[in-house]
Amino acid sequence: MNQNSKRAAILKVACRLVKDLGASNLTIEAVAKEAGVSKGGLLYHFPTKEALIQATLDDFLDRFDSATDTEASSNPAIDNHWAQAYLISTFDIDKDDLEMSFGILAAASNQPAMLDPMRERYVLWQSRMTAECKDPVEATVARLAADGLFYCELFGFAPLEKQLRSDVLAYLMNMIKNQDNQS
């Protein structure tokens, strides 16, 4: 296993353990054991429990940004490239990433400063949405709706059935569509 895949495996195990056991019960030893690495091997990648938790959050945010940028640059069906890609990426987050997010947020909630990178990304995402869309209110409503869906699914608060979920995404996509292209 190369260093990047070992690191990714450690991050995944850490998220699962936080979700299963709670943030206060996460230990470097437990993560190392579950990930099949030595404690020293884990400490090579993450020198502290806090560094491990911060890395899981940073990894999730980086992968979300990458998926959104890829969607924006490769999907010819969208006209507000990044704004609509944000909606698609949020609606397409898979079960594993939802579980990882749950663990990350639970662990970081014990140390609010750990959420600063997420706060910074949300400021950036909001500014990208409003800069790209003609109506900043519609852009904000669309982002808040997508974020709400994410958190509803994350915590199991009345997650939407498949067809309604698809219809809501279509509605939001149309709402922020460039008005010059609307018929």
Q: What is the pLDDT of residues 12-67, one digit of tens each?
A: 888 888 777 777 778 899 999 999 999 998 999 899 988 888 888 888 888 899 99
Distance CA 183, CA 180 (A): 8
Q: Is 73 exposed, middle or buried (0-12, 13-18, 19+ CB in 10 A)?
A: exposed
Which pTM value belongs to this model?
Answer: 0.82
Non-local (6+) Cβ contacts of 59 within 8 A are 8, 11
| Domains of the chain with bracketed CATH | 54-181 (1.10.357)
Task: Please give the residue that has the higher pLDDT: either 109 or 7.
Answer: 7
For residue range 72-123, what is the model confidence (pLDDT) as tens digits? 999 888 877 899 999 999 998 877 777 777 767 776 777 788 888 889 999 9
Non-local (6+) Cβ contacts of 40 within 8 A are none
